[in-house]
A and B are shown apart, each in its own frame.
Chain A
Amino acid sequence: MRGPNTKAFQQGFLKNMIFSLQACSEFCISSSASGGAAMMSLQQRKCAIKSSANIAMATARGGRARWPQAVLASSSSPSRRPSKPSSSPGKKKKNTHVCKKIVRRCLHTRRRWRAGTGASSLARTTSTTTAMIGSREIARRLVRKRTKVLRKMIPGGELLDEISLLHEAVDYVAHLHAQVDVLRRISNAVQRG
Chain B
Amino acid sequence: MSSRRSRSRQSGSSRITRITEEQISDLVSKLQDLLPEAHLQSNARVPSARVLQETCNYIRSLHQEVDDLSERLSELLATSDMSSAQAAVIRSLLM
CB distance from A152 to the nearest CB of B (A): 9
Residues 142-161 of A at the B interface (beta carbon under 8 Å): 142-143, 145-147, 149-150, 153-154
Shortest Cβ distance from B35 into A: residue: A173
Q: Is there contact, CB below 8 Å, between A11 and B31? A: no
Residue A64 lies at the interface, judged by CB distance under 8 Å to chain B = no
The residues of A that contact B90 with a CB separation of less than 8 Å are 18
Q: Is there contact, CB below 8 Å, between A49 and B34? A: no
The residues of A that contact B70 with a CB separation of less than 8 Å are 46, 49-50, 53, 183
Q: Other CB < 8 Å A-B pairs besides A53-B66, A139-B49, 13 of them?
A: A18-B90, A45-B78, A49-B73, A142-B49, A143-B49, A146-B49, A163-B20, A166-B31, A176-B63, A186-B92, A187-B72, A187-B73, A190-B88
What are 25 sample pairs from A and B whose C-beta atoms fall under 8 A apart? A14-B92, A14-B93, A22-B82, A24-B82, A42-B74, A45-B78, A49-B77, A53-B66, A146-B49, A153-B56, A153-B60, A162-B24, A166-B24, A166-B27, A170-B34, A176-B59, A180-B66, A184-B69, A186-B73, A186-B89, A189-B88, A190-B77, A190-B89, A192-B88, A193-B80
Binding site for B on A (CB under 8 A): 11, 14-15, 17-18, 21-22, 24-25, 39, 42, 45-46, 48-50, 53, 122-123, 125, 139, 142-143, 145-147, 149-150, 153-154, 162-163, 166-167, 169-170, 172-174, 176-177, 179-180, 183-193
